[in-house]
Amino acid sequence: MFALEKANNSLRPSVIGSLWRRCAARLGVAEVCSNVATFFMSQYTNFIQFGGESGGCAQVTQLLAAAWAQHSDENPLVVIQLEIVKSYFESMQGTASILHFSDYQGRAHKIACNKGGQHGDAFETVRFAFTTLPSFGRVFARHVACTGAAFCDDVFIVAPLAEGLALTVELKQVLKQDLDLNLDVPRFNCFFPGDQINDDDHARALFQNALQANPQLACLSGMDAGISTMGLPVARVPIGNDEWVQQFVQAKAAAVQVDVGKLDIISDGLIHYQMLRFCQNTRLAFLGRNTLTPLISDIFAEVDATILEALCQKGTTNAHGEWMAVFRRFVDMKLQLPHFWGGFGVTPNAGSAIFAFYATSVSLVQWLGFCSHAEQNFNDLASTWGPGQDLANLDQWSASILLALKQAHQVLLTDFGCHDS
Amino acid sequence: MAQKQARAGNLSKANQTVCSVLKPAFGHDTLHKLQEKTPVGSVVFDKQFWLTTDALDEMHRHDEWLNIQEHSFSIKKIGQYFRNCKPLSAQNADGWRGREHVGWLFTDDDSALQELLRTHLILPNILGDFLADS
């Protein structure tokens, strides 16, 4: 066992299991992952556990939040974020273990543990999601006005404010009762999507009014919820107004640019190239395929330019500054072309994000149009997960994620020479 | 160090070595904090719907389970796992690493040794039939 220091002075413990356990866990996950994903998606009509797949969680929440205009000003649609305190450590399923830890003086200690799973255990994500699913699903089944998506212990409720808070209270009780789990106070956030309510003070007043109107919600008043009308990160994907989303992506891009600079220390040119290509150039891929492309293309282009500059700098030991502009553009093109076209395969994020966003969003639409299968009794997934959107009629789409999908489709046809099949 | 990791083929670890700003926790109170995070509490849960030991044994004798055990945890799959796991990844308490050491044990035809490793070191993690502490 070892631990890393977090910014707030707390610890992030992680356990490295024995080689044999890691092997068994990995093979076990490979055996069950497909069936488990189907199980998670098909058990409850208004709650989906995405387990280890964070992208789907963000997309579904984004689509649900687009229905804000259908709700009243007094009881608006909100996205509530909940997280469970020390969820893995406190969860009901136990992995009795003796953890070995070496302290700052090199002394070895044994830490006994008889409860919960461990960060670092390959099977823990599946096991946690699986054992907590019935408790979440049971509560959601009693609150039909609410829908929810979870990425393991990160839970997002999309519901009218009053109904969402009522569900939160019951979930808090049930999690404690069933699983001895507590909701995390610092991660209790409430986001008001859309432009009906764009003043944080107004949103805070609505939130307080909702708490006071129902005495059963009193236990939430002490949790000091974070209120926002700008945006909320959902499973690492920004959902909110354009400005806030761009700020979020800009911060992530800036972190990549800083790290690209750090890699200058690598003296071996080939390793420097490989680390830029495989480690830094791929870092924004997740954001790219889950964030609306028009908002991020310019920011991604800046990261692409930083990576190309770093490669040229290392490759020419800084002589590239004397190149003519046209030659520099040619070099950039060669660096970004795929190997089979004689390039170096440093895929440009600004371009690949369009394809990635298109592919993942099409999968979402395809899933929503997929009415039922053997294990699913849903008559119409789209009415639950894409409220107010007629998926069969593109002209009726109003959710920003669907509009961005239409735009990406058009860009791929006109600018990239793609064809409809 | 980063170049050594990269040359071995573990680029992500090399990247982390250069770029990560997270520091290992080695404070005087780290042990205490870790003990607090790993509770030794009651594990008396409502097990009304849990499988009993007999039911688990019965399940392990069932053809479907035996089929999973034979195919998903076969020597071939175990060998593939160790040969393809990341180089220079975390070692065991005794210093053994998956790719550098154990992977080689699954490359030759010593099927008796491989079967012993599978039966006594890997499958107990699935079946839960470890030897009790003496």
Average pLDDT, chain B: 86
Q: Which domain holds residue A310?
A: 241-421
Q: What is the pLDDT of residue A144?
A: 92
Domain contains A20: no
Are A49 and A40 spatial neighbours (Cβ–Cβ below 8 Å)? yes
* Residue A282 located in a structural domain: yes
Residues A224-272 have pLDDT tens digits of 788 999 999 988 889 988 899 999 999 999 999 999 999 999 999 999 9
Residue that finishes a domain, picked among A239, A261, A290 = A239
Contact B23 A4 (CB under 8 A): yes
A residues 89..118 contacting B (CB < 8 A)? 89-90, 92, 94, 96, 99-101, 103-104, 109, 111-116
Q: Are A111 and A195 in contact (CB under 8 A)?
A: no
β-pair type (A226-228, A189-191): parallel
DSSP-assigned beta bridge partners for residue A82: A155
Is residue A13 assigned to a domain?
no
Residue A302 lies in a domain: yes
Looking at residue A115, the DSSP 8-state letter turns out to be S
For residue A250, count CB atoms less than 10 angstroms from its CB and return exposed for 0-12, middle for 13-18, buried for 19 or more: middle
Q: In terms of domains, do A258 and A406 share one?
A: yes
AA letter at B78: I
Cα separations in angstroms, A55 against A111, A288, A364, B10: 35, 11, 10, 26
A7 near B CB under 8 A? no
Instruction: List the one residue out of B55, B50, B39 whose CA is nearest residue A115.
Output: B39
Q: The dihedral of CA B17, B18, B21, B27: what is its sign?
A: positive
State how beta strands A154-160 and A147-151 pair: antiparallel
Q: Which residues of A touch B23 (CB under 8 A)?
A: 4-5
Residue A239 in tokens: 């959902």
Chain A residues in contact with B26 by the CB 8 A cut-off are 103-104
pLDDT at residue B58 tops 60: yes
* pLDDT score of A95: 61
Q: Are A249 and A298 in contact (CB under 8 A)?
A: no
Please name the amino acid found at residue A81.
Answer: Q
What is the distance between the alpha carbons of residues A380 and A365, in angstroms, rounded to a whole number? 12
Query: 3-class SS at A375?
Result: coil
Can you give the pLDDT at residue A38? 84
- For residue A51, the model assigns a pLDDT of 80
pLDDT digit string, tens, across residues B20-45: 888 888 888 888 888 887 767 666 66
Q: Is A348 part of a structural domain of the chain?
A: yes
- Nearest C-alpha neighbor of A381 from the set A362, A392, A391, A368: A368
The CATH number for A160's domain is 3.30.70
Please answer yes or no on whether B15 and A99 come within 8 Å at the CB atom: no
Residues A130 and A210 in one domain: yes
pLDDT in tens, A8-50: 778 888 888 888 988 999 999 998 888 888 888 888 889 999 8
Answer yes or no: do A215 and A250 share one domain. no
Predicted pLDDT at B134: 47
Question: How far apart, in Å, are the Cα atoms of B56 and each of A149, B61, B72?
Answer: 32, 9, 19
Q: Are residues A128 and A212 in the same domain?
A: yes
Q: How far is CA B89 from CA A138, A161, B92, in A?
A: 41, 47, 10
Q: Which residues in chain A land under pLDDT 50?
A: 91-92, 374, 377-378
Question: Are residues A260 and A224 part of one domain?
Answer: no
Whether A395 is covered by a domain: the verdict is: yes
pTM for the complete prediction? 0.86
| Same domain flag for A234 and A247 | no
Is A89 in contact with B39 (CB distance < 8 Å)?
Answer: yes
- Tell me whether residues A19 and B102 touch, CB distance under 8 A: yes
CB-based contact, A271 to chain B, within 8 Å: yes
Q: How many CB atoms lie within 10 A of CB A353?
A: 25
Q: What is the DSSP letter of B22?
A: -
Q: Nearest to residue A84, comparing CAs of A12, A163, A151?
A: A151
Residues A179 and A259 in one domain: no
Final residue of a domain: which of A222, A239, A256?
A: A239
CA nearest to A164, candidates A244, A81, A236:
A81
Burial of A288 (0-12, 13-18, 19+ CB in 10 A): buried
In a domain, A36, yes or no: no
Query: CA separation (Å) from A94 to A128, B41, B76?
Result: 10, 10, 30
What does the domain layout of chain B look like in residue ranges? Answer: 1-41, 42-134
Number of structural domains (chain A) is 2
Q: Kindly state whether residues A260 and A225 are assigned to the same domain.
A: no
Angle between the N-to-C axes of helices A349-368 and A54-65, in degrees from 0 to 180, rounded to the nearest 10: 70
Contact residues on chain B for A89, CB-CB shorter than 8 A: 37-39
Indicate whether B131 pLDDT > 80: no
Contact A197, A69 (CB under 8 A): no
Clarify whether residues A112 and A198 are in a common domain: yes
Q: Give dist(CA A37, CA A363) in Å, integer.
A: 15
Compute the residue count for chain B.
134
Residue A35 lies in a domain: no
- Residues A176 and A309 placed together within one structural domain of the fold: no
Tokens of A198: 């764009």
Q: Say whether both A251 and A199 belong to one domain.
A: no
Are residues A252 and A217 both part of a single domain? no
